């Protein structure tokens, strides 16, 4: 027998002796005077009942957990799909649209040579000479006019510097890319009110036309926008 084998036997023998001594110690221990609290008994019974339940209904619990996990996965996928229907950011030809809770913001790619103040005022032809025109703002950064019919606001036109951003109500709004003359434009349609707005940038200035009546069609608001260059 080699030296290592002798060591293994000694270790095993010593372990057996310790086990026997400990077993004898616990068997001879007097526990008659120990007061066991009722809460301990209740806890032990609950533990036993719980383990018994796992044994009896373990398969049911496993299937239920898997079903719950599958439902959570489907909910997560649905949430992601809903976000994709309304992205946080949409990039068009020359504009980036940022979506927020109740409004959207449009930023344009601007030429560095764009004016830093409005040097030439642009006007539109609304197509109805009876509409009353009111200038709401006229300064170096923005020019805004409103058109009214019988005291009711019908249309607005705004000319701004390219370095400024424009905000629009995003509730129930669809966006489509169209052309105004040779410039890409964004056509916004508010579904609940059936009203169109259009905005674009020609490299010098940025323009927004908003209708406040469903009587102005998509074709009409595009034609009004193109009248800026006539």
pLDDT in tens, 4-46: 555 555 555 555 555 555 555 555 555 555 566 666 667 767 7
Q: What is the mean pLDDT of residues 171-198?
A: 89
Sheet architecture: strand order including 205-211: 132-138, 142-149, 152-161, 205-211, 195-201, 183-190, 173-180
Q: Which pLDDT score, from 0 to 100, does residue 60 have?
A: 58
Q: What does the mean pLDDT of the chain come to?
A: 74
Q: What is the mean pLDDT of residues 179-205?
A: 90
Q: Which pLDDT score, from 0 to 100, does residue 79 have?
A: 45
**Residues 6+ positions from 159 with CB-CB distance below 8 Å:** 118, 121, 122, 142, 143, 144, 205, 206, 207
Residue 205 reports pLDDT greater than 50 = yes
Q: Which pLDDT score, from 0 to 100, does residue 86 have?
A: 45
User: pLDDT category, 65, cuts 50, 70, 90?
Assistant: low
User: pLDDT category, 194, cuts 50, 70, 90?
Assistant: very high
User: pLDDT category, 226, cuts 50, 70, 90?
Assistant: very high
Q: What is the mean pLDDT of residues 173-186?
A: 89
Q: What is the mean pLDDT of residues 84-111?
A: 56
């Amino acid at each position: 027998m080699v030296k290592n084998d002798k060591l293994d036997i000694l270790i095993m023998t010593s372990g057996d002796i310790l086990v026997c001594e400990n077993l004898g110690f616990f068997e001879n221990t007097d526990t008659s005077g120990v007061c066991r609290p009722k809460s301990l008994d209740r806890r032990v019974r609950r533990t036993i009942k719980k383990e018994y339940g796992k044994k009896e209904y373990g398969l049911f619990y496993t299937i239920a957990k898997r079903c719950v996990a599958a439902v959570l996965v489907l909910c997560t996928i649905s949430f992601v799909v809903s976000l994709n229907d309304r992205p946080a950011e949409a990039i068009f030809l020359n504009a980036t649209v940022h979506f927020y809770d109740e409004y959207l913001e449009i930023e344009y790619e601007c030429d560095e040579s764009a004016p830093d103040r409005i040097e030439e005022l642009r006007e539109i032809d609304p197509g109805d000479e009876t509409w009353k025109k009111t200038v709401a703002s006229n300064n170096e950064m923005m020019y805004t006019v409103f058109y009214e019919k019988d005291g009711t606001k019908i249309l607005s036109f705004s000319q701004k510097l390219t370095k400024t951003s424009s905000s629009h109500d995003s509730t129930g709004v669809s966006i489509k890319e169209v052309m105004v003359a040779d410039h890409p434009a964004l056509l916004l349609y508010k579904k609940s009110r059936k009203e169109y707005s259009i905005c674009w940038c020609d490299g010098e200035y940025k323009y927004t036309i908003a209708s406040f009546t469903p009587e102005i069609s998509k074709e009409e608001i595009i034609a009004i926008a193109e009248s800026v260059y006539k």
